[in-house]
A = this chain, B = another copy of it.
Amino acid sequence: MLARKTLHAHSRIWLRLNRPQSQSQTTTTRHPIRCSSTLVVPFTADRYHVRRENFAKVTADDAKVFREIVGDHGVITDAADLEGFNVDWLKICRGQSKVVLRPKTTQQVSDILRYCNDRKLAVCPQGGNTGLVGGSVPVFDEVVLSMGLMNRIVSLDPMSGVLITEAGAVLETLENYASERGRVVPLDLGAKGSCHIGGNVATNAGGLRLLRFGSLHSNVLGLETVLADGTILPFGSNMRKDNTGYHLHHLFIGSEGTLGVVTQVALLCPPKPTAVSVCYLGLNSFEDVLKCYKEAGDSLNDIISAFEFLDNSCYQVSCEKHKILPPLNPFPFYVLMEVSGWSPKAQSERLDSLLERLMSSGLVADGVVADEPSKIRTFWEIREGVAEALTRRGYVYKYDLSIPKREMYSLVKTSESVWAARSTSAAVTAIWVTNNLHLNVLTSDYFPEVTKRLEPYIFEWTSQHKGSVSAAHGLGFKKRNAIKYSQSPTAIALMKKLKQL
């Protein structure tokens, strides 16, 4: 058997990765929405030609009531301070809200919503504002309900692993809290330094641990929510098993703030694996990626916790932006694979034995393995940093699709001609195991005619291949009209009725 050390040495570039962590930006210190940008983001209403509905406008009297509810410190009206709440992380959407409210209690959320409902003021609930579909910022002058001050962690039961937290807690804070107690928060994503657990629930965020721990539908045991009319809908039992009536909290998972505001979350946190290894593999063809996945799945299915796919554009752009020395020389495709568990020795042996097989058969052209936390972090940073790196290059037409694995790359291959104009380029990553293809088409600026060339082409292609036009990011503002490509008219009609409840 090829020894672990030999595998490390296989790629000489590996050695150069042994540098102080501080040389690269880490995910944990990035706070995307606070980044300054030289781009001026046009108003959403102007860029996308949408018309405001007949909602009331915030008056001085309203502001007075808001101050009574949340206090002076809970009301933001200063133009400079409003900026970060009006512009989305991708710098594509800009709302025109004149007031941001920052409640500290569920009762305050209820009072705000009841008042706004009575006054017919539109409300935009906002978590960490890290969404990618323009769903977390106002489109017009909605009242922004920012959940950032409701960030108290209530409890973590050591026996059951159930974490109860307010919705505004930052994901990374929860992760650290759970980790110190031998538990792991069952979702993880690039935006964890800013995103809120409430926003994660509202958008059914998937992220990097879905393969191992399942979706939020598996792990959210209960929610406290406030409906649009101010009604507080408290937790059910927070038990793993509760079959008393409809499982209402599942309706709020992924509802993107359209049914109510999540104020507290009960989340099942599994025990934290004690041994983790991550490897980067370089591959020459998409066909090889498919075969590599089959082999890895067969050999490692109980310990594999991530299998991600990047093309060379994403890999290079991310390494460059985040000042990371590429762990491998250029290849057309890369796979990032993680294994984790509690039997370090058996786990390493199985991973090494698989990698040896993959490399001697030629399926994998080159590879490096990391066992040490700081190196693992760097490996993940390349993957997690793709979105940010691309955004800095111009306008990104982002598509977040679920597509059957065999077909995943054919969308990119067969349709390059569609976007081969305006000096655009395409960059692709995929959360492979969950069939989630992230297709990014880059241009120097926003051109409506590029949108027309891409849509509905991509949506129709996805629909024909029985995929989903929004795998993870949700519909938000930008994909709101694409729902018909993934849902039947009957289902959409039922959703509309639900919304009216």
Question: Which one of B214, B239, B243, B492 lies within 8 Å of A435 (CB-CB)?
Answer: B239
Does A385 have its Cβ within 8 Å of any Cβ on chain B? no
A342→B234 contact, CB < 8 A: no
Does A34 have its Cβ within 8 Å of any Cβ on chain B? no
- Expressed in whole angstroms, the minimum distance between the Cβ of A310 and any Cβ of chain B is 18
- Expressed in whole angstroms, the minimum distance between the Cβ of A409 and any Cβ of chain B is 14
A342→B490 contact, CB < 8 A: no
Q: Is the interface of A mostly helix, strand, loop or mixed?
A: loop
- Expressed in whole angstroms, the minimum distance between the Cβ of A222 and any Cβ of chain B is 10
Question: Which one of B218, B485, B491, B497 lies within 8 Å of A218 (CB-CB)?
Answer: B218
Chain B residue numbers with a CB within 8 Å of A301 are: 270-271, 342
Chain B residue numbers with a CB within 8 Å of A217 are: 217-218, 247, 250
Task: Convert A477-489 into 0s and 1s, putting 1 for each residue whose CB lies closer than 8 angstroms to a CB of B.
Answer: 0010011011110
Q: Which residues of A contact B (CB under 8 A)?
A: 157, 159-160, 203-204, 206, 210, 214-215, 217-218, 231-234, 236-248, 250-251, 253-255, 259, 270-271, 273, 294, 297-298, 301-302, 341-343, 345-346, 350, 402, 404-406, 431, 434-436, 466-475, 479, 482-483, 485-488, 490-492, 494-495, 497-498, 501
Whether A470 touches B302, Cβ cut-off 8 Å, given contacts A233-B494, A250-B251, is: no
B302→A241 contact, CB < 8 A: no
Chain B residue numbers with a CB within 8 Å of A241 are: 206, 210, 215, 402, 431, 434-436, 468, 471-472
- Expressed in whole angstroms, the minimum distance between the Cβ of A186 and any Cβ of chain B is 10
B246→A471 contact, CB < 8 A: no
Chain B residue numbers with a CB within 8 Å of A270 are: 301
A302→B342 contact, CB < 8 A: yes
Q: Which residue of B lies closest to A220 (CB)?
A: B217
Question: Which one of B239, B341, B404 lies within 8 Å of A160 (CB-CB)?
Answer: B404
Whether A243 touches B498, Cβ cut-off 8 Å, given contacts A237-B486, A251-B250, A343-B350, is: no
